[in-house]
Each structure stands twice: as C-alpha cells, then as structure tokens.
Chains A and B, each alone.
Chain A
Amino acid sequence: MTRLRQLASLLKGDPSADRIVPPTGFTAQLTVFTAAAMAFLGVFALALSLATARLADRWGQALAQSSTIRISAPADQRQAQTDAVLRILSETPGVASSRALSDAEQRALLAPWFGPELPVETLPIPQLVEVIEEGRGYDAEGLRLRLQAEAPGAVVDDHTRWRRPLIRAAERLNLLALGALTLIVLTMAAMITLAASTALAANRQVMTVLRLVGARDIFIARAFVRRFTLRASMGAAIGTALAVLFIALMPRADAAGGFLTDLAFSGAGWLLPLLIVPLAAFIAFWATRHAALRALKEIP
C-alpha cells in the first residue's frame, strides 16, 4: 500500500519539483518512442503467446480425442474385418463412437496428393475407421491385442506420434513468445534507464545545487521519475492502441485459416493489452528511480 501511495503521489505530482528540472527534448522523445515501440511489440508478443497456447490446446484436444484404425486386408476379407473391428469398438470402454470412412471421404483425404479423380475403389487402399474417444479414452494395448486375434489386418493409430511433436512445437512457440515478451520488458527497462541516465548526467548541476540547498535524494529523484513515468505511459498507450488496432483489423480465423489468422485476442483477452500501459509505467518508475538514486550517490 505504501508503494501504491508513492505511485499515486508521484502521478499527482509536485509542480515546483517538476519545474526544477529543465525540459530535455531528446530524452523525452527517446522515451516516448521506445515505450511506444516496445508496447507495440509487446502486444504482438502477447497475442502470439495466447495464439500458440490456444493452438497447442486445440491440437492436443483434437488429436487426443480421436484415433484411426487402418484395415489392410485382401479384398474378400476386407468387409468382414471391418465389421469385426466395428463390433469390437462398440464393446470397448472409452470409445464414444466409431465408423468406417466411405470411399468418398477416403478420396477426399487423398485428393491433395493424387487429385480428385482417384479411383479409390480400384486401388488396394486400406479401409479407415474413425474412432472418437470419451473420458480418458480406451486401453490402446488391450484393443491392439484383441484386434490382432479377430481382425489381423487392423492397425491402431492413436495419433500419439503426430500429436507429441505438434504439441511440442506449439509449446515451444508459446515459450518463444513469452521469451520475446520478457526481452521486450527488459529492453524497455534498459532503454529508459539509458535515457534517464543521459538526462541525469545533463542535469548534474541541477542535482548538485538541490543537494546543497538541503534537498533529500528522494525529492530530486522524484522530479525525474515522474517525468519519465508519464512519458513511458504516454508512449505505451500510443503503441498499445496502434497494435490493438492492427490486430483487430487482421482477417479472422476460418475453416481455411491457419495459425497466422488466429493471431488475435478473444473475449476478455482483449483487456490484456491494457496491462501493458501500467507495466510500462512501473518499469519506467523503477528504472528511473534506480538510475537517479545511483547518480545522486556520486553527489555529496
């Protein structure tokens, strides 16, 4: 609460303390620009992080709740084995439903590779059975053993080998986005510290005079801290607004849409970028305060 009161008093300001430090155009512009650019990138990194989290979740759920049984059997045994597989699946706990894919569906699956005119019925293509799972799914090993006995041409593909690398890739993308966000925060802190240090060095005479007339370090630091906090907040607000506008104008995800078109916020997620402005203010507050108090230690 003390810190909150400090921040509130800082934002309220002290006109006499504000005027003591002369305006410095270059560092003012640098701080506003840096905060705006970092907030802009921060919003995108946040959107990327949320999108990859959603993607990993979607891939994980979609693939975890379904599996495929491939039946490679001679033509005269194919229907019998398909019926046996469907019967076994109907008796297997954890299976919500199962169905054999029609020729048209199998043709549609192969169309991207062989074209739409593929004569599926004349080719020795395995019969595919789609299995939708429920609850914690079925016992894959038990099902394999049973199929081996009653439908020897059936092979269970529970999508694990597809799912794992996809989820891992999505999780790494998420980690990358969070890493980018952390780097953005650190870069913003470094740039504001640099700008504040430049302003402090340029105003060493002001600080010296203030110390000699009895000013406490915190009074002198406050004059710089408030200025940089307000500039960073203003820059962050501009950068955040622009980034949110860009994201809002991006095309929405649809059936044909991929990962990139899903780079957006959803629902209450649109409020998350608003956190970037107080975060920038907080970073500027601490970066400037730290730089000012360190610079003041060199003045008797």
Chain B
Amino acid sequence: MPWGVTSMAQSEGSPVIELSQVSYGYDGRALLNDLSLTLSPGSFHFLTGPSGAGKTTLLKLCYLELAPTQGRVTAFGKPADQLGRDGIAQVRRRVGVVHQDCGFLDHLPLIENLTLPLAASGQDTAEFAEDLRALLAWVGLEQRATALPPELSGGERQRAALARALILSPDVILADEPTGNVDWEMSLRLLSLLVELNKMGKAVLIATHDLNLIRQAKSQVAARVLRLRGGQLDVAGADL
C-alpha cells in the first residue's frame, strides 16, 4: 500500500531536505536572506510569518520548484543543482506537497487527480484500487471519487490535495496554508491527519498564519515553530 507504509529511506536523523545559507530574490528584491533549514525524518515544523514574507517561496525551494540565488539546497543527500530534470522528478515523488491552490486538473475526476503521481511514476493505477478506496475513506471523500474538482468544496479540495500528496508514501510532506479555505472543524481534522502521518515517521512542514492551529498542534505533537520575518528564519517562542 503506497501511502500507508512509512518509507524511511534515510538513516535516522539524516536530513531529507536541507537548506544551507540560502538566499532568494527577484527583480532586485531580496526575499529570503542567508537562511538555513533542516527537515529530518519524523520532524514537525510550522512556518509562520506575515503575508508576503516568503513562506510559499521557502516551500518552493524545498520541493525544487525554485532554485536559490545563493546557498545550497540538498534533497535526500544530493545537491539540488546536480540533480537534472529527471533527478528533480525523482525527488518530487518523495515529497508530498499540498499546494495552496491544490493544483488539480479540472477535466479529470477526483480519483484520477489523486492517481496522477502514480501514473506519472509509471505505476499501474488499477493495482492500487483497494488502497485508493482506503485513502479516500481516510480523508472522508469516498463518495466524491468521480466528482470533478470544480464540484468540490474548499474543505474537500484541501483533503483531496492532502490525499494526493500522500499517494506515493512520501518521506516529507510540505503543506502551504492547508487550512486556508476551511472552517475550524475541518482545520482540526486536517491537522489530525498530518499529525497522524508525522507519527508514521514522515517529516512535516506546514506554512500557515493560523496561530490557533499552531497552538492546537503543539498540544498533540512536538512541533517546532519557525517565524519568517525580513527574509530571516527564527524560532518562535512563547509569544505565539
């Protein structure tokens, strides 16, 4: 079962994603400045900060959609700038991403959107029919398998995005404002899903400005809260 197995390809404690003295800017404006971040197996991080601080940019650097203007990104022990396009594709199969806009293909029913990573990695989706049903039930979408993405509510889309991020049993989960479009009850449900995955050994990094969600999470898991401000990362303390 692809999503249910804890894949611990890395040795215990060895970082899955590592940003070393990374800077990023565009149009002459520095957005991130000389920051470092290490995501180890089983770690749980929140990334917070004001709008426009660069949270999404930092996540994009982690899943190699962007390349830093300075510094080095290492994914599963390999420098990102030496991976090549096929190497980047391989890394992305080990990184589950919940995008802010979910990133669905509107002409495909939900079930086919969920199996995109399987199809893209050359696996026969028919072999995973049972697992898919279990995954849909786990995120509470078993009745919506044939619905098209535009027919889904905000909460359903977020849960579906989480399900797709997990389909290849990734080693790390990056979520960009996963509770941005859902009510509090749904936010708690999504959070509990992520906590459950973290307990399976997966590294989790959630970008959010929802401080209530962070407080709620800290009661369930040993989460580290990072604050992005002025292009720098610092560890948030009791002022949350």
Seen from chain A, the residues whose Cβ lies within 8 Å of a Cβ on chain B are: 14, 16-17, 19-20, 22, 205-206, 208-217, 219, 296, 300
Contacts and interface: CB of A to CB of B under 8 A. Distances in A.
Give the interface size bracket for B toward A. 20 to 34
Interface string B74-96: 00000000000110111011000
B108 A210 contact: no
Contact of A216 (B64, B89, B99, B112): B89
A18 to B, nearest CB: 10
B86 A217 contact: yes
Contact of A213 (B64, B86, B92): B92
B93 A214 contact: yes
Contact of A209 (B89, B105, B121, B125): B105
Interface string B9-23: 000000000000000
B120 A215 contact: yes
A262 B120 CA distance: 54
A210 B116 contact: yes
B116 A211 contact: no
Interface in B155-193: 164, 168
A16 B92 contact: no
Given A16-B119, A20-B119, A216 B103 contact: no
A212 B103 contact: yes
Closest 10 CB pairs of A and B: A215-B120, A214-B93, A214-B92, A16-B119, A213-B117, A22-B107, A216-B89, A300-B65, A209-B103, A213-B116
Interface of B: 63-67, 85-86, 88-90, 92-93, 97, 99, 103-105, 107-108, 112, 115-117, 119-122, 125, 164, 168
A216 B92 CA distance: 10
B5 to A, nearest CB: 17
A20 B92 contact: no
Contacts of B99: 212
Contacts of B125: 16
Interface centre among A19, A213, A216, A300 (most CB of B within 10 A): A213
Contacts of B66: 300
Contact of B105 (A206, A211, A300): A206
Given A209-B116, A212-B99, A300 B107 contact: no
